[in-house]
Amino acid sequence: MDNYRAHVLVCCGTGCTSSSSMKIMEKFNEVIAEKGLANEIKVVKTGCFGLCAAGPIVVIYPEGTMYYRCTPEDVEELVNEHLINGNEVERLKNAGGSTDPKNFYAKQQRVALRNCGRINPEDINEYIAYDGYQALGKVLTEKMDPDAVIQSIIDSGLRGRGGGGFPTGLKWKFASGNRGQGITKYVCCNADEGDPGAFMDRSILEGDPHSVIEAMAIAGYCIDAHQGYVYVRAEYPIAVQRLQLAIDQAKEMGLLGKNIFGSGFDFDLDIRLGAGAFVCGEETALMRSIEGKRGNPTPRPPFPAIKGLFGKPTILNNVETYANIPQIILKGADWFASMGTEKSKGTKVFALGGKVNNVGLLEIPMGTTVREIVFDIGGGIPNGKAFKAVQTGGPSGGCIPASLLDTPIDYDNLVAVGSMMGSGGMIIMDEDTCMVDIAKFFLEFTVDESCGKCSPCRIGTKRMYEILSRITDGTGTLDDIQALEDVAVALKNGSLCALGQTAANPILSTLKHFREEYVEHVVDKKCRCGVCKNLLAFSIDKDKCVGCGMCAKACPASAITRTDYIAPGKKLAAFEIDSSKCVKCGACMGTCKLKAIVKQ
Amino acid sequence: MDMVNLTIDGVQVSVPSTYTVLEAAREAGIKIPTLCYLKETNQIGACRVCLVEVEKARALAAACVQPVAEGMVVHTNSPKVRATRKNTLEMILSDHNVDCLSCIRNGNCELQKLAEEYGIRKVTFTGAKSSSIIDDKSFSIVRDSSKCVKCGRCVAACKEQSIGVLSFLNRGFETSVGPAYDISMADAPCIYCGQCIVSCPVGALYEKEDTEKVWDAINDPSKHVVMQVAPAVRAAIGEEFGLPIGTRATGKMFAAMKRLGADKVYDTNFAADLTIMEEGTELLNRIKNGGVLPMITSCSPGWIRFCEFYFPEFIPNLSSCKSPHEMEGAIIKSYYAQKNGIDPKDIVVVSVMPCTSKKSEAAREQLVNKDGLKDVDIVITTRELARMIKEAGLNFNSLPDEGPDQDLMGEYTGAGVIFGATGGVMEAALRTVADILEDKDLPEFEYQAVRGVEADVKEATVTLGGKDIKVAVAHSAAAARQLLTKIKNGEANDYAFIEIMGCSGGCVCGGGQPIVNAQDLMDIDLRAERAKALYEEDSIMPQRKSHKNSQINKLYEEFLGEPNGHLAHELLHTTYCKREVYPESVIE
Amino acid sequence: MSIIKLTPEEQATKLEAVLSKYRGQGQKALMASLQQAQEIYGYLPLPVQKKVAEALEVSVAEVYGVVSFYSFFSLKPKGEYAFNVCLGTACYVKGSQALLDKIEDCLGIKQGDVTEDTKFSISACRCVGACGLAPVVLVNDDVYGRLLPDEIPGIIAKYKEEA
| CB A335, CB A78: distance < 8 Å | no
Q: What is the mean pLDDT of residues A513-521?
A: 96
Which domains are delineated in chain B? Answer: 3-92 (3.10.20.740), 97-122+130-207 (3.30.70.20), 212-572 (3.40.50.1780)
Query: Does residue C75 sit at the A interface (CB-CB below 8 Å)?
Result: no
Cβ-count burial A282-297 (b if 16+ within 10 Å, e if not): bbbbbbbbbbbbbbbb
CB contact under 8 A, A277 and B171: yes
Nearest by CB to C64, which of B181, B581, B584? B181
Size of chain A, expressed as the number of residues it contains: 600
CA A413 to chain CA centroid, nearest Å:
20
Q: Which residues of A touch B61 (CB under 8 A)?
A: 299
- Is the same domain home to A230 and A158? yes
Give the per-residue pLDDT at C2.
44
- Is the same domain home to A144 and A29? no
- Is the same domain home to A154 and A186? yes
Q: Which residues of C touch B181 (CB under 8 A)?
A: 46, 64
Q: Tell me how far apart the alpha carbons of residues B261 and B214 are, in angstroms, rounded to a whole number.
A: 10
Residue A300 distance to chain B (closest CA, Å): 8
Beta bridge mates, B226: B264, B349
* Greater model confidence, B277 or A97: B277
- Is the same domain home to A129 and A91? no
- Is the same domain home to A87 and A133? no
Q: Which chains pack against C, by 3+ Cβ pairs within 8 A? A: A, B
Q: Which of A524, A557, A586 is the last residue of a domain?
A: A524
CATH number, domain with residue A172:
3.40.50.11540
- Is the same domain home to A193 and A324? yes
Q: Which of A285, A315, A337 is the last residue of a domain?
A: A337
- Is the same domain home to A520 and A549? no
User: Helix, strand or coil for residue A426?
Assistant: strand
Give the per-residue pLDDT at C5.
75
End-to-end CA distance of chain B: 55
- Under 8 Å CB-to-CB from A569, ≥6 apart: which residues? none
Nearest by CB to A235, which of C73, C93, C128? C128
CATH number, domain with residue A28:
3.40.30.10
Instruction: Confirm whether A378 is domain-assigned.
Output: no
CB contact under 8 A, B180 and C61: yes
Q: What is the mean pLDDT of residues C91-102?
A: 90
Q: Pairing relation of β-strands C120-125 and C81-86? A: parallel
Instruction: Confirm whether A541 is domain-assigned.
Output: yes
Give the per-residue pLDDT at A18.
79
- Under 8 Å CB-to-CB from A479, ≥6 apart: which residues? none
A–C interface: beta-carbon pairs under 8 A: 136
Q: Tell me how far apart the alpha carbons of residues B529 and B248 are, in angstroms, rounded to a whole number.
A: 10
| CB B293, CB B496: distance < 8 Å | yes
Give the per-residue pLDDT at C163.
67
* pLDDT over threshold 50, residue C151: yes
Residue B295 distance to chain C (closest CA, Å): 27
Label each residue of B305-349 as H, E or C.
Answer: HHHHHHCHHHHHHECCECCHHHHHHHHHHHHHHHHHCCCHHHEEE
Query: Does residue C61 sit at the A interface (CB-CB below 8 Å)?
Result: no
Q: What is the mean pLDDT of residues A545-560?
A: 89
pLDDT 10s digit of each residue in chain B, 588 long? 799 999 999 999 999 999 999 999 999 999 999 999 999 999 999 999 999 999 999 899 999 999 999 999 999 999 999 999 999 999 999 999 999 999 999 999 999 999 999 999 988 888 999 988 999 999 999 999 999 999 999 999 999 999 999 999 999 999 999 999 999 999 999 999 999 999 999 999 999 999 999 999 999 999 999 999 999 999 999 999 999 999 999 999 999 999 999 999 999 999 999 999 999 999 999 999 999 999 999 999 999 999 999 999 999 999 999 999 999 999 999 999 999 999 999 999 999 999 999 999 999 999 999 999 999 999 999 999 999 999 999 999 999 999 999 999 999 999 999 999 999 999 999 999 999 999 999 999 999 999 999 999 999 999 998 899 999 999 999 999 999 999 999 998 899 999 999 999 999 999 999 999 999 999 999 999 999 999 999 999 999 999 999 999 999 999 999 999 999 999 999 999 999 999 999 987
- Is the same domain home to A169 and A271? yes
Q: How confident is the model at residue A2 (pLDDT cuts 50, 70, 90)?
A: low
Q: Read off the pLDDT of residues B24-33 as tens digits, 9 standing for 90 and up.
A: 999 999 999 9
End-to-end CA distance of chain C: 18
Q: Read off the pLDDT of residues B270-313 as tens digits, 9 standing for 90 and up.
A: 999 999 999 999 999 999 999 999 999 999 999 999 999 999 99
- Is the same domain home to A216 and A287? yes
Q: Which chains pack against B, by 3+ Cβ pairs within 8 A? A: A, C
Number of structural domains (chain A) is 4
Residue C80 distance to chain A (closest CA, Å): 19
Q: What is the mean pLDDT of residues A16-26?
A: 87
Cβ within 8 Å of A, C 95-124: none
- DSSP letters of A528-590? TTS--GGG--EEE-TTT-----HHHHH-TT--EEE-S---TT-SSPPEEE-TTT-----HHHH
DSSP class of B502: S
Sheet containing B295-296: give its strands across: B295-296, B495-501, B467-475, B457-464
- Is the same domain home to A156 and A291? yes
Considering the entire predicted model, what is its pTM?
A: 0.93
Give the per-residue pLDDT at C1.
40
Average pLDDT along chain A? 93
Q: Which residues of B touch A165 (CB under 8 A)?
A: none
Q: Read off the pLDDT of residues B450-507 as tens digits, 9 standing for 90 and up.
A: 999 999 999 999 999 889 999 999 999 999 999 999 999 999 889 999 999 999 999 9
CB contact under 8 A, A463 and B149: no
Query: Does residue A483 sit at the B interface (CB-CB below 8 Å)?
Result: yes
Instruction: Confirm whether A233 is domain-assigned.
Output: yes
Q: Read off the pLDDT of residues A485-507 as tens digits, 9 standing for 90 and up.
A: 999 999 999 999 999 999 999 99
For the ranges A450-454, B83-87, B293-297, C1-5, which has the lowest average pLDDT? C1-5
Chain A interface mutation, best of C2, C30, C131, highest count of A Cβ atoms under 10 Å = C131
- Name the burial class of residue A144, with classes exposed (0-12), middle (13-18) and buried (19+) by CB atoms within 10 angstroms of its CB: middle
Sheet containing B3-8: give its strands across: B11-16, B3-8, B73-75, B51-54, B61-62
Which domains are delineated in chain C? Answer: 8-67 (no CATH), 81-162 (3.40.30.10)
Q: Tell me how far apart the alpha carbons of residues C96 and C100 are, in angstroms, rounded to a whole number.
A: 6
Nearest by CB to A452, which of B61, B65, B175? B175
Chain C interface mutation, best of A49, A104, A199, A236, highest count of C Cβ atoms under 10 Å = A199
Q: Which residues of A touch B92 (CB under 8 A)?
A: 455, 459
Instruction: Confirm whether A585 is domain-assigned.
Output: yes
Q: Which residue in A has a C-alpha nearest to residue B65's C-alpha?
A: A299
CB contact under 8 A, A493 and B60: yes
CB contact under 8 A, C27 and A451: no
CB contact under 8 A, C62 and B167: yes
Q: Which residues of A touch B46 (CB under 8 A)?
A: 453-455, 496
- Is the same domain home to A234 and A326? yes
| CB B78, CB B32: distance < 8 Å | no
Give the per-residue pLDDT at B31.
96
Give the per-residue pLDDT at B126.
87
- Considering only CA atoms, which of C8, C73, C4, C78 is closest in space to residue C34? C73
Q: Read off the pLDDT of residues A223-253 as tens digits, 9 standing for 90 and up.
A: 999 999 999 998 888 899 999 999 999 999 9
Give the per-residue pLDDT at A478.
96
Q: What is the mean pLDDT of residues C47-75?
A: 96
Instruction: Confirm whether A265 is domain-assigned.
Output: yes
Give the per-residue pLDDT at B35.
98
Query: Does residue A450 sit at the B interface (CB-CB below 8 Å)?
Result: yes
Instruction: Confirm whether A114 is domain-assigned.
Output: no
Give the per-residue pLDDT at B173.
96
End-to-end CA distance of chain A: 61
Instruction: Confirm whether A70 is domain-assigned.
Output: yes
Q: How confident is the model at residue A1 (pLDDT cuts 50, 70, 90)?
A: very low
Q: Which residues of C touch A394 (CB under 8 A)?
A: 89
| Residue A277 structural domain | 124-337
Residue A395 distance to chain C (closest CA, Å): 9
Q: Tell me how far apart the alpha carbons of residues A551 and A539 are, in angstroms, rounded to a whole number.
A: 11
As a whole number of Å, the CA-based R_g of chain C is: 18
List residues of B whose CB lies inside 8 A of any C CB: 159, 163-171, 179-181, 188, 581-582, 584, 587-588
Q: Pairing relation of β-strands A425-430 and A387-392? A: antiparallel
Instruction: Confirm whether A559 is domain-assigned.
Output: yes
Q: How many CA atoms lie within 13 A of A32 on its CB side?
A: 24
* Greater model confidence, C130 or B529: B529
Q: Which of A337, A366, A392 is the last residue of a domain?
A: A337
- Is the same domain home to A327 and A257? yes
Query: Does residue A332 sit at the B interface (CB-CB below 8 Å)?
Result: no
